[in-house]
A and B are shown apart, each in its own frame.
Chain A
Amino acid sequence: MELKQQLPVHTTKLKENKRSFIKKELKRNKYVYLMLVPVVLYYLIFSYGPMYGLLMAFQKSYSPIKGIFGGEWIGFDNFKMFFDSYYFWRIIKNTLILSFYSILFGFPAPIILALLLNEVRKKWFRSTVQTISYMPHFISVVVVVGMLKTFSALDGGLFNIFRDFFDMQPIMFLAEKDMFRALYIFSNIWQGAGWASIIFLAALSGIDPGLYEAAKIDGAGRWKQLLHITLPGITPTIVVMLILRLGAVMNSDFQKILLMQTAPTYETSDVISTFIYRSGVLEGNYTYSTAIGLINGVINFALLIMANSISKKVNSTSLW
């Protein structure tokens, strides 16, 4: 009984304490808070604003006059419509396959490049290779796709000149549905592997050289050193990068695919984000596309959390 009586007094006191603490803190750091006002506003409006806009996914249609809360609520109908639609399996399959191949071929590429570069003894050679392999990173997506397009021209395009060498018929690469995935993934590797290798090189340079000395004394060759020192040394970096990558499994590179795809390749090139763009921005089905976007975001987020917690357990490496 006594305790119960004391409790309210105690909490009000605490509250008062807290309030005066916040007041003091606000005064002491007022300029810092002032600086953070535009930052907080920015995130509220441009990051949390669209999240609030996700409510549209549960409405029949969006009316620019009535705003985000003015539509007719229809529960999960938009989601059902998507699951039942003809395109559902096609875009889910394409998104997952593209992502899977990107991880399978694209993810190891910068790691292998970094390992190879790390074995180079001549400094000038190493920095030349690095400089040149970063270059494609600075070319815009538009130009990369433009290059793909000119290279795959039937008459005199670079790719078809190569095909000619091997006595193969020229083909319109960007109009072939079977070529889309390969073109997408290999051009990504061409453009990004050098640049992405920087992070792994940074991790490699952080390995204690003493470990290598010790291994040499123990008679380990370069292969053994790679297996027992180098790889374990960069494993945390690899794991973190892989988690981030898994958290984006449902995101393919929207910018690039949109530029690359042509009507004949939709069967392999249509992914969630391009579908959202077409049905949302171009056809104006705002609420329906918002629902698809929400499914996408939720799956991504769930995958990220899963990958992170698995890696926390297995590897004690995690993002947070």
Chain B
Amino acid sequence: MRRSPGERIFDCFNVLLLGMVMIISLYPLLYVLNSSVSDPNQLLRSRSLMLLPEGFQLEAYKAVFQNSKIYSGYMNTLFYVIVGTLLNLLMTSLAAYGLSRMDLYGRKTLMKLITFTMFFGGGMIPTFLLVQNLGLVDTRWAIIIPGAISTFYFLIMKTSFESLPISLIESAKLDGANDFRILFRIVLPLSKSILAVMTLYYAVDHWNDYIGPMLYLRSQDLYPIQIVMRDILISSSTESMGAGADTGFAIGENIKYATIIISTLPIMLVYPFIQKYFVQGALIGAVKQ
């Protein structure tokens, strides 16, 4: 197809602009990666934009890997991600299956009551006191139970279940299957892609959560990686990192960069492979709206 000069200028301009978007998105990450492996002394002196590492060392990574707080933080986060996400999936599936059944008496009322919670809630303090009164404070359950269902994700899943042919459920019923069987043997196996989307959404939320742990956890050995990182990155307690006096301030900065990379890398590595599922999930969300 032939394009007019005006269109060509626009296309060039567009490509340039989007190129800039890419650079802006990627550059800070590249800078952090470069900094983490750079020689700490050169890093302080160079003051450049650093498109390549200045010098090379892996000491910072060694220090981070040897740090017991980061290790236990990682393990705790894994626990919260795995157990939390499993509970999320179970509860969300139950809710989505139950409420996708059009013939259910009271369905509309329940939906109204649930949707209402998306727009109005008790707020931070009453929730905090509730969790405290339930005796959940300073237990792992405080991180897992209060957020067992995200209403927004539930709506996405329900929409997806509603698109399954109703005759499938009816014929299974005629064959004598009860609803639990129908959900776990028929509906869920047919909904693999929405399950993948939900798993990823919930898992990323657990991976990045720090407000729940900050409010509800007291014991350091329950802390997830995000709290450990907050202490290192924002409260600046690099001394507690065991960087030691001999390595001094300079390596401390490297440790911060290395921590960022280590805590972000897992999700960054998986993400390109799972991107299509994320996009699919957002699409379903958009269709719903």
Contacts and interface: CB of A to CB of B under 8 A. Distances in A.
Interface stretch (A9-17, A90-98, A140-148): A140-148
Interface in B148-193: 148-149, 178-180, 183
Given A36-B95, A50-B121, A142 B233 contact: yes
Main secondary structure, interface of B, reads helix
Q: Most chain-B Cβ atoms within 10 A of its Cβ — which of A21, A42, A62, A276? A: A42
Chain B interface residue number, banded:
35 or more
A62 B256 contact: no
Contacts of A296: 123
Interface stretch (A79-87, A99-107, A123-131): A123-131
B29 A135 contact: yes
B32 interface: yes
Interface string B1-38: 00010110011001101100110111011011001000
Contacts of A320: 115
B197 interface: no
A116 B21 CA distance: 11
B18 A129 contact: yes
B283 A202 contact: yes
Nearest to B18: A129
A185 interface: no
Interface in B107-133: 110, 113-115, 117, 119-130, 132-133
Nearest to B97: A35
A69 to B, nearest CB: 13
B253 interface: yes
A156 interface: yes
A116 B26 contact: no
Given A120-B15, A146-B256, A31 B29 contact: no
B24 A135 contact: no
Contacts of B98: 32-33, 35-36, 39
A194 B25 contact: yes
A35 B117 contact: no
A55 to B, nearest CB: 9
Interface of A: 21-22, 25, 29, 31-33, 35-36, 38-40, 42-43, 45-54, 56, 62, 64, 67-68, 113, 116-117, 119-121, 125, 128-129, 131-136, 138-143, 145-147, 149-151, 153, 155-156, 158, 161, 164, 190, 194, 198-199, 202-203, 221-222, 237, 240-241, 247, 254-255, 258-259, 273, 276-277, 280-281, 286, 289-290, 293-294, 296-297, 300-301, 304, 319-320
17 contacts: A25-B105, A29-B101, A39-B91, A39-B98, A40-B110, A50-B130, A54-B123, A125-B18, A128-B22, A146-B256, A155-B44, A156-B44, A202-B282, A290-B123, A290-B125, A293-B126, A300-B120
